[in-house]
Amino acid sequence: MRDSEGREVPRLCAETREIDHVDDLLDFADPTGTLAWLRRGDGIVALSGVGEPVFTLSEDGATDLARIPRLAARWRAISDVAEVDDDVRVPGTGLVGFSAIAFDDRSSAPSTIIVPSALVGRRAGRSWVTRIRRADAAYPELPTGLAPWGAYWSATLGPGSLDPAAYQSAVHSALDAIAAGEVSKVVLARDLRGTVPAGADLRRLARALSTGYPDCWAFAVDGLIGASPETLVTVSRGTVTARVLAGTTPRGADADADTLASAALATSAKDQDEHLYAVRSVLGSLRSHTSALAASEQPFTLKLPNVWHLATDVEGTLSGAASALDLVGALHPTAAVAGTPTAAALAVIDRLEPFDRGRYAGPVGWVDGTGDGEWAIALRCAQIGAPDAATDASPDGAPDVGSPTPFSLRATLPVVAHAGAGIVAGSDPESELMETRVKFRPIVDALA
């Protein structure tokens, strides 16, 4: 079966069965091609040892059409013809695809949905295994053992295209754009670049982030690995939730200093303004897809191991037939990672950032066959290796056109990490640089 553009719409079958309790989901994941979504020990991982993914959807920036709506339409077509046998029926069971999406439609990084051959999940005390196949193939045999953990490893990291001095200069330029009325807020990022050993067990990075930041979404999709504190959107059985983060300060060195840091953030006019832009952005994007949409009147301070954030929770009821991917498309990019107004902020980012963000600050998460899913903004993360080529996988898992050199044939793999800060009137370049240093800490520490 093919869609209106002549691309294959595979008929997929998914079977989910409950299994004995799983202690550590990452034990089941692939060491070098890790696909994982974790929070507080629960989540889903693609099972190692069962072969290549069943299918991969990929969109690049070669067309003038937005990638996310195209991915959403293609996923809906696949879901409509899929056969699902699900005995567990909790979020993350049945037909599931892991996804990482480029921040900008013009990015060279592909936006993908990867459907694994098998995955293992755990939620609310229940564990399960899902096997997925094409309609004309058999379900994969489950492995009898687990992949052994590889040796500990560390990355080498150094300044990227925008070093600290250049970043402060870019902040000055952003303030000029704000003073000229071009934007009200713009989020500027800087980069760190380096290498990791070829064949590194990427589960170790995912574990360091998931255990160090258990309240964040720890993810690994197509080499993009991180722990995001910001829920972009969750859709579950008609309920839509999101958590908006904007406004940041480092944790205090002791209890008294920490209390003062939290209070200062909560009363900071600059941070309150930055946060308000982000909340308005999310509410405006969700209104047309929801009913009874509500947000708390005042933000609260969210405590993470290294920072305080201003946070607002949003909840609503899904209206119409929109899927989680449709809402991702409506929301991205939020003011928390781009700025306000969106189009003008993206133009400033393009002018001042001398690099392609790739999937940094883009949507990352999973979507199931009903359209439900959990999505975060790809923050506190690093891209390990070049993302896979922007091509759809053929039935045997091999790409239709040339793929990048396999990890096993490279001496080292490139790694790039980004961190950003929201610039508004009154921002101080040195303070914004310090904010990026604080935001780099989770991924830099985990890579060390």
* Contacts for 380 with CB less than 8 Å, ≥ 6 apart: 209, 213, 216, 226, 227, 228, 229, 419, 439, 442, 443
**3-class secondary-structure state, position 32:** coil
Average pLDDT over residues 373-393: 80
51-94 pLDDT, tens digit per residue, is: 999 999 999 865 556 899 999 999 999 999 999 999 999 999 99
> How high does pLDDT run on average in the chain?
91
What per-residue confidence (pLDDT) applies to 403? 39
Give the model's pLDDT for residue 409. Answer: 45
Predicted confidence (pLDDT) per residue in 308-362, tens digit: 989 999 999 998 888 999 999 999 999 889 999 999 999 999 999 999 999 999 9
For residue 257, what are its two tokens? 């200093």
**208-243: b (≥16 Cβ within 10 Å) or e:** bbbeebeebbbbbbbbbbbbbbbbbbbbbeeebebb
* 127 contacts 20 by C-beta, under 8 angstroms: yes
> How much is the pLDDT for 273?
87
Identify the pLDDT of residue 404: 42
Q: What are phi and psi of 170, to 5 degrees?
A: -65, -35
Q: Are 47 and 129 in contact (CB under 8 A)?
A: yes
Percent of the chain beyond pLDDT 70? 94
pLDDT of 405:
42
| pLDDT at residue 406 is higher than 90 | no
Mean pLDDT calculated for residue range 436-443: 95
Percent residues over pLDDT 90 in the chain:
77
Say whether pLDDT at 436 is over 90.
Answer: yes
Measured N-to-C along each axis, helices 164-179 and 429-447 cross at an angle, to the nearest 10 degrees, of 140
pLDDT (0 to 100) of residue 300: 92
Distance between alpha carbon 337 and the CA centroid of its chain, in Å?
Answer: 12
Q: CA 339 to CA 349: how far, in whole Å?
A: 9
pLDDT recorded at residue 319? 87
How much is the pLDDT for 65? 60
- The answer to whether residue 407 scores a pLDDT higher than 60 is no
Q: Return the higher-pLDDT residue of 392 and 349.
A: 349
Q: What number is the average pLDDT over the span 290-303?
A: 89
Catalytic residues: 185, 230
Name the pTM for this structure. 0.90
Answer whether residue 389 shows pLDDT above 60: no
Mean pLDDT of 416-441: 95
